[in-house]
Amino acid sequence: MKVAVCLKRVPDTTTKIVIGSDGKSIDENGVKFVPNPYDEYALEEAIALKERAGAGETVVYSLGGDSSQETIRTALAMGIDRGVLLQGAGSADGFEVAKTFAAELKGGGFDLVLFGKLAVDDYNMQVGPMTAELLGVPCITTVAHLTLANGAIEAEREIEGGIEVCTCSMPAVLTIDKGLNTPRLPSLKGIMAAKKKPLEVRPVHVGVGTLMVSSLTLPPERLAGRIVGEGPDAVPALVSLLRTEAKVL
Amino acid sequence: MTTIMTQAHPYLSDVHLALRDQVLRFVQDQVIPVGEAWEDQGMVPRDIFRRMGALGLLGIRVPEIYGGAELDALASVVLAEALGHSTFGGFTASVLVDTDMATPHLTRYGSDAQKAAWLPSIVAGDTITAIAVSEPDAGSDVKSIRTRAVRQGDHWVLNGAKTFITNGVHGDLYIVAAKTALDGKASHGISMFMVEKGTPGFRVSRALKKMGWLSSDTAELVFEDCRIPVENLLGEENHGFYAIMDNFQNERLVMAAMAVGEATKAIQLTLDHLRQREAFGSALWTIHGIRQRLAKRAAETEAARQLVYHAAWLESQGLECIKEVSMAKAFCCEITQGVVYDCVQFHGGMGYMRESAIERMARDARVLTIGGGATEVMFEEVAKRL
Ligand SMILES: Cc1cc2nc3c(=O)[nH]c(=O)nc-3n(C[C@H](O)[C@H](O)[C@H](O)COP(=O)(O)OP(=O)(O)OC[C@H]3O[C@@H](n4cnc5c(N)ncnc54)[C@H](O)[C@@H]3O)c2cc1C
């Protein structure tokens, strides 16, 4: 079982975000970066699949600057065998990122390539499916349950109001939803072993693409609540405000 | 999470930083959501030791051949500081007594046979350890302990009482200090013994009710003609006092680091509160007097933190550091008192309510200047070396 996981370094969702002076990127000063939480489910699945198979290899790929090495080390500490840093600036255009990954993964002999279902920084959900297309392999997105048997994949996706079961053959690309597993914390042994695991750095050039971010704004601050009255008497005023102001009715 | 806890530090290696991240995540996921129930039960569940064991957190200082990571004093400090962020001082104390106060006696002075017999199960979290030095009539003055151990053939026979012993109720292996010689210098006649739970003549006489650290079990122990095999003597006969003094360095470092972790977390919780709590038309955090005082507390905490890192670095380099460790123990634990006092104050009435973390943290913090070398005793150690 040979599994690749594509991993993105993202700001911790609990970090307070400040927009940079250019108005279209975030100010990275003092921001804590973590592995994209959905990618952690993918990492856990890759490690567990290899453990269950009893043999194979797990490889983590990350596109980014040198600081992404730290993120890769976290994956190695969890138990991934080796890492590859695709060293270069990413692109807002998911297609360019997918092209970069596909070029690296092609010919790698992977049975499975796993992505998180989305990166919590840009919410694009594109790179996984596009990479699958470029590699010419099937793709199942937002996998919440997974069974492998004799080279066939059966995956469950949580869709609106129910569960969809999909099947495809290997090799394939899967994007992973939360709930598939519980990602392990790296053990201290894992952390120490990670230092000695191979981490290859390969400079890449990612195209600019056709999609640009033109501006970023923070969500408006939440307004203070208001009490419109008490008891049944307040109902008409409340209904009217819900219609005219909140526009939810 | 505060940015302080994500910063690099010249004394910390990549492994130290990754360890800090790991412990912070562990307490966030597996301690903070459930710690309240442990406070009610008066002890932490054994399972939490096993889970920490599986992550390698109980063997940081233990040699690799026994399943440990064989890291240095800075790693202990990183562990203690990050555990301090759990807001449950009792949990933190229970773990650190096991990893950094009791077990080091075995790691440093145990024979190969003793280490092979016990360390693997301690590292796994299956065996919980306790250190029993203090007695009803001997605390700061370790030399004056009265528990006696008398050699009878292949056994040592222990008689006496110990008190204020952390992990005293659910401990499996107790490292016990007892007098083995009454003639000559008082410091010379003490030896250390390993006593297993269930040994005839040894019992936990009562669990003690405390002001804070509610999730750690603190007990009184009694030894009545408790016979233990001669193999359970730990280290050299009559050299126990020196072993205790040696070990105090590590104990004091982790207590200082735990204090700094707690102070940092208390300030962070208070800041969160002040930012969202409004009075007189704006957030409390806009009030000059409050900002100034909390900023001062933050500065003190950061200074304390650098001192404990420095003392731990000296220790990790094998350099003389009794003065610096004593300073760190006294200073970190003392400034934490002021920090939690102000943090309760700035929480207003909520700071006095059992449902707020800061109320517990204030109670928990009080013991820091007493246990593991009281402030006055620490400053005496400093004064002797000025
Ligand atoms: C919650 C808790 C957990 C504990 N866990 C353990 C444990 O696991 N194992 C263990 O062995 N012990 C444990 N202890 C005991 C702890 O180490 C002692 O309480 C501590 O050493 C102080 O001793 P004492 O209580 O006898 O106070 P005393 O020694 O009586 O001191 C009383 C006061 O006198 C001051 N004083 C004493 N000597 C001097 C001096 N020379 N100069 C100036 N002032 C002085 C002290 O600073 C203190 O303020 C624990 C204590 C507590 C409260």
pLDDT band at B1 (very low <50, low <70, confident <90, very high): very low
Say yes or no to pLDDT of A186 above 90.
Answer: yes
Q: Catalytic residue numbers of B?
A: 251
Asked whether residue A167 is domain-assigned, the answer is yes
Express each pLDDT in A36-66 by its tens digit: 999 999 999 999 999 999 999 999 999 999 9
Cα Rg for chain B, rounded, in angstroms?
Answer: 21
Q: Do domains B3-128 and B241-384 have the same CATH topology?
A: no
CB contact set of A178 (below 8 Å; sequence gap of 6+): A37, A38, A41, A144
% residues pLDDT > 90 (chain B): 96
Query: Can you give the three-state secondary structure of B251-292, one letter per residue?
Result: HHHHHHHHHHHHHHHHHHHHHHHHHHCEECCEEHHHCHHHHH
Cβ distance of A73 and B54 shorter than 8 Å:
no
Residue A56 lies in a domain: yes
User: What are the pLDDT digits (tens) for A82-134?
Assistant: 999 999 998 999 999 999 999 999 999 999 999 999 999 999 999 999 999 99
Residue A222 has pLDDT above 80, yes or no: no
Nearest to B60 by CA among B112, B90, B104: B104
CATH code of B3-128, in short, is: 1.10.540.10
- Tens digit of each residue's pLDDT (9 = 90 or more) over B121-145: 999 999 999 999 999 999 999 999 9
Residues of A in contact with B15 (CB under 8 A): 191-192, 195
C-alpha B366 to ligand 1 mean position (Å): 13
Q: Is a pLDDT exceeding 90 seen at residue B116? A: yes
Question: Which residues in chain A have their CB less than 8 angstroms from residue B54's CB?
Answer: 187
Search chain B and give the residue with CA nearest A31: B3
- Residue spans of the domains in chain B: they are 3-128, 131-238, 241-384
Residue B138 phi, psi (nearest 5):
-150, 110
The preferred substitution site among B134, B193, B211, B329 for testing ligand 1, maximizing ligand atoms within 8 Å of CB, is B134
* Domain presence at residue A84: yes
Does any domain span residue A178?
yes
Residue A247 lies inside a defined structural domain of this protein:
no
User: Which of B21, B54, B69 lies closest to A192 in CB terms?
Assistant: B69
Residue B352 structure tokens: 């006095």
Assign residue B280 a region (left: φ > 0; alpha: ψ between -120 and 50; beta: otherwise).
left
Percent of chain B at pLDDT > 70 equals 99
Question: How does DSSP assign B47-58, residue by residue?
Answer: HHHHHHHHTTTT
Task: Determine, yes or no, domain membership for A212.
Answer: no
Q: Do A32 and B6 touch (CB under 8 A)?
A: yes
Number of domains in chain A: 1
pLDDT score, position B62:
98
Cβ contact A204:A63 at 8 Å: yes
Q: Which residue in chain A is spatially nearest to B53 when comparing CA positions? A: A187
Domain membership flag for residue A51: yes
Q: Is the CB–ligand 1 distance for residue B133 below 6 Å? A: yes
Q: Tell me the residue range of the domain where A118 lies.
A: 2-203
B131-238: CATH homologous superfamily? Butyryl-CoA Dehydrogenase, subunit A, domain 2 (2.40.110.10)
**What is the Cα–Cα distance from B240 to B179, expressed in whole angstroms?**
9
Q: Is A185 on the interface with B (CB under 8 A)?
A: yes
Say if the Cβ atoms of B69 and A30 lie within 8 Å: no
How far apart, in whole angstroms, are the C-alpha atoms of residue B51 and residue B56?
9
**Contacts B59 to A, Cβ<8 Å:** 188
pLDDT digits (tens, 9 = 90+) for B277-317: 999 999 999 999 999 999 999 999 999 999 999 999 999 99
- Chain A residue numbers touching B25 (CB-CB < 8 A): 185
CATH code of the domain occupying B241-384? 1.20.140.10
Ligand 1 within 6 A of CB of B378: no
Q: Rounded to whole angstroms, how far apart are CA atoms B221 and B169? A: 9
Joined together, the tokens standing for residue A109 give 């002999």
The whole-chain average pLDDT of chain A stands at 93
| Pairing outcome for strands A172-176 and A139-149 | parallel
Q: What are phi and psi of A227, to 5 degrees?
A: -100, 120
Ligand 1 centroid to A75 CA: how many Å?
A: 45
Element (H, E) at B121: helix B112-124
Q: List the helix and strand counts (H, then E) for chain B.
A: 12, 10
Judged against a pLDDT cut of 90, whether residue A244 lies above it is answered with no
Query: Residue A95 has which token pair?
Result: 């297609």
Q: How far is A192 from chain B (nearest CA, A)?
A: 6
Q: Is the pLDDT of residue B192 over 80?
A: yes
Contact A194 B18 (CB under 8 A): yes
In a mutational test of the B interface, the residue from A187, A191, A195, A199 whose CB has the highest number of chain B CBs within 10 Å is A191
The residue to mutate among B377, B381, B382, having the most atoms of ligand 1 within 8 angstroms of its beta carbon, is B377
Beta partners for A164?
A: A157
DSSP state of B203: E
Nearest-CA residue for ligand 1 atom 19 is: B371
In short, whether B376's Cβ falls inside 6 Å of ligand 1 is yes
- Read off the CATH number of the domain in which A18 is found: 3.40.50.620
Other Cβ atoms closer than 10 A to B141: 11
Q: Is A183 inside a domain boundary?
A: yes
Average pLDDT, chain B: 96
Tokens at residue B157, please?
A: 């026979």
